[in-house]
């Protein structure tokens, strides 16, 4: 076993009384007080999350854009400076190594943020694909902390944080899936209007040494707005309601993008990219597809539970499931046979031997009001 | 407030209060905190015969599912419908409002259970 890792905000979490859990080799706050209260705070006001465990890579060089078109599933060369884009890092066989967000910092300068547990695999794949390109990939994860401020009050809170100055784009004009720059305590800060909760919000990339001061400053500014520190338990139910996939659950090396509803992320007509040939062959005829499931009552289907027909015939398997805090009924994402994937199809969840009726439902389960 | 030193405890984090031959059973604050917010509780029917160690129900939080183990043998004589209707009681009032079941027990049914000090010791191990 390798030693558990802690983010630069460990002491803050301990002082706030957080319970910790292992996530991708990191000891992360799972909750501070109540995961339901933290969930509702993000939907109604705001929450602050430490997501410093996530990995960051810089991609710099004259061929950076062309390189990313080859190394990732999307057409990153078409993204303008200032924008961010969700993308996939595929294996040669079309399986998913990770899902990432790519930020175009300049014409030949990109930032990639990937999942914590895939840091080594992402670094290895990115570096193995540089050969034909004038580009340098660097793992800069240890230099930064990443703090997410999510919820309808996020913009108002961040605009009031003491110490954030020189914001390059007025807060209200910052677009979703775009970034701006600022300074915190005089040092560079990247502000990305992205998130993993289904709410408006920002992710702040800050030098690791300044993370604690920034965390304190956001908490102080946010308190009158109802902001609370929120842990991974709330983050998981929030993203599930928003229909967002989680690597290791909805996305794996064995999952092809189209199965997971991510066909739109793959620009198949690019001349070449890793995974192109395998995906051109199309999905296996018996490939299961990702669907949303809604049930009644309070008893949730969990990851690994079977989805079955009334007579018990296996139809698929749940990858994530919980009692939705916002909606008040159980929701789940599951891979099911294509014949059972149509919206409205009645199925059953095998909850430890009890069959719970469920209905195939369009994702996301929850969409914020604009 | 419940006098926690008057209760007996199991290693599976249930507490037992004995009144005559009726044992009231719940889960401890330690267990409730470890589970997180409880959102679903399933309890046995009145009349169910339990042996010590039997699974008598389930408590689900947003993140996990935990089985409930009978700390004593006996017959279920009452269940707490309030906690089935409002599972959050387990978090807010584990020793009072969120008692789970009452069991009619024989003499000596609590033998071998832990006292408060011994229970606290295992939660701090």
CATH 3.30.1360.120 location in chain A: 10-50+142-241
Digit-coded pLDDT (tens) for A115-171: 999 999 999 999 999 999 999 999 999 999 999 999 999 999 999 999 999 999 999
Residues of B in contact with A30 (CB under 8 A): 36, 63
Using the Cβ of A295 and the Cβ atoms of chain B, whether some distance falls under 8 Å is answered with no
DSSP secondary structure letters along A127-145: HHT-TTSS-EEEE-GGGEE
Does the model's ipTM exceed the 0.90 cut?
A: no
Q: Is A208 on the interface with B (CB under 8 A)?
A: no
B65 touches A at CB < 8 Å: yes
Number of A:B CB contacts under 8 A?
A: 45
Beta strands in A221-282 (DSSP E): 227-229
Share of chain A above pLDDT 90, in %: 95
Q: What is the full DSSP assignment across B52-119? A: TT-EEEEEEESS-EEEEE-SS-EEEEEE-HHHHH-TTHHHH-TTTTT--EEEE--TTTTTT-B-HHHH
**Distance from B38 to chain A by nearest Cα, in Å?**
9
| pTM tops 0.90, yes or no | yes
Structural domains of chain B in order of their starting residue, each with its CATH number: 7-107 (2.40.50.100)
- Which two structure tokens, joined as six digits, stand for A235? 């983050």
Q: How far apart are CA A303 and CA A290, in angstroms?
A: 13
Return the CATH number of the domain spanning residue range A288-370: 2.40.30.110
Which among B33, B34, B62 has the least Cβ separation from residue A322? B62
| pLDDT (average), residues B12-27 | 96
| pLDDT the model gives residue A339 | 95
Hey, which bits of A109-253 come out as E strands?
109-114, 136-139, 144-150, 164-165, 179-184, 187-192, 201-207, 227-229
How confident is the model over B70-95, as pLDDT tens digits?
A: 999 999 999 999 999 999 999 999 99
CATH fold, domain A10-50+142-241, is Gyrase A; domain 2 (3.30.1360)
Chain B CA closest to residue A231: B36
The mean pLDDT value of chain B amounts to 94
Report d(CA A333, CA A319) in Å as an integer: 6
Which residues of chain A fall short of a pLDDT of 50?
A: none
Q: Which residues of B touch A36 (CB under 8 A)?
A: 37, 39, 62, 88
């Amino acid at each position: 076993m390798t030693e558990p890792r802690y983010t630069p905000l460990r002491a803050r979490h301990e002082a706030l009384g957080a319970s910790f859990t292992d996530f991708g080799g990191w000891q992360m706050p799972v909750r501070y007080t109540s995961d339901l209260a933290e969930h509702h705070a993000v939907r109604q006001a705001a929450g602050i999350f430490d997501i410093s465990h996530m990995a960051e890579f810089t991609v710099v060089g004259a061929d950076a854009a062309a390189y990313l078109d080859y190394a990732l599933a999307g057409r990153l060369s078409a993204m303008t400076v200032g924008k961010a884009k969700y993308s996939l890092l595929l294996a040669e066989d079309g399986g998913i190594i990770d899902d990432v967000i790519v930020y175009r910092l300049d014409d030949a300068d990109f930032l990639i943020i990937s999942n914590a547990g895939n840091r080594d695999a992402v670094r290895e794949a990115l570096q193995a694909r540089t050969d034909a390109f004038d580009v340098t990939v660097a793992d800069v994860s240890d230099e930064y902390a990443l703090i997410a401020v999510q919820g309808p009050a996020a913009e108002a809170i961040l605009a009031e944080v003491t110490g954030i100055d020189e914001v390059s784009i007025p807060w209200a004009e910052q677009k979703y899936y775009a970034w701006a720059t600022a300074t915190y305590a005089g040092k560079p800060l990247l502000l990305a209007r992205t998130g993993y909760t289904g709410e408006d919000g920002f992710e702040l990339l800050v030098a690791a040494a300044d993370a604690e001061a920034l965390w304190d400053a956001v908490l102080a500014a946010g308190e009158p707005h109802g902001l609370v520190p929120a842990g991974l338990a709330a983050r998981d139910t929030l993203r599930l309601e928003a229909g967002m996939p989680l690597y290791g659950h909805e996305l794996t090396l064995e999952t092809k993008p189209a199965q997971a509803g991510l066909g739109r992320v793959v620009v198949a007509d690019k001349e070449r990219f890793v995974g192109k040939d395998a995906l051109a062959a199309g999905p296996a005829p018996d490939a299961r597809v990702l669907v949303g499931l809604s049930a009644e009552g309070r008893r949730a289907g969990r990851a690994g539970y079977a989805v079955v027909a009334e007579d018990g015939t296996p139809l698929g398997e749940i990858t994530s499931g919980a009692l939705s805090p916002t909606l008040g009924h159980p929701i789940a994402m599951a891979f099911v046979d294509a014949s059972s994937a149509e919206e409205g199809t009645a199925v059953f969840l095998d909850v430890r031997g009890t069959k719970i009726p469920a209905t195939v439902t369009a994702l996301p389960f929850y969409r914020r009001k604009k | 407030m419940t006098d926690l030193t008057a209760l007996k405890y199991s290693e599976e984090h249930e507490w037992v209060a004995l009144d005559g031959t009726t044992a009231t059973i719940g889960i401890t604050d330690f267990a409730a905190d470890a589970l997180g917010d409880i959102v679903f509780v399933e309890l046995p029917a009145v009349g169910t015969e339990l042996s010590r160690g039997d699974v008598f129900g389930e408590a689900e939080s947003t993140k996990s599912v935990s089985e409930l183990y009978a700390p004593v043998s006996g017959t279920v004589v009452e269940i707490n419908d309030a906690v089935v209707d409002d599972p959050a009681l387990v978090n807010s009032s584990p020793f009072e409002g969120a008692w789970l079941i009452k069991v009619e027990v024989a003499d000596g049914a609590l033998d071998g259970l832990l006292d408060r000090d011994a229970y606290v010791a295992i939660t701090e191990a």
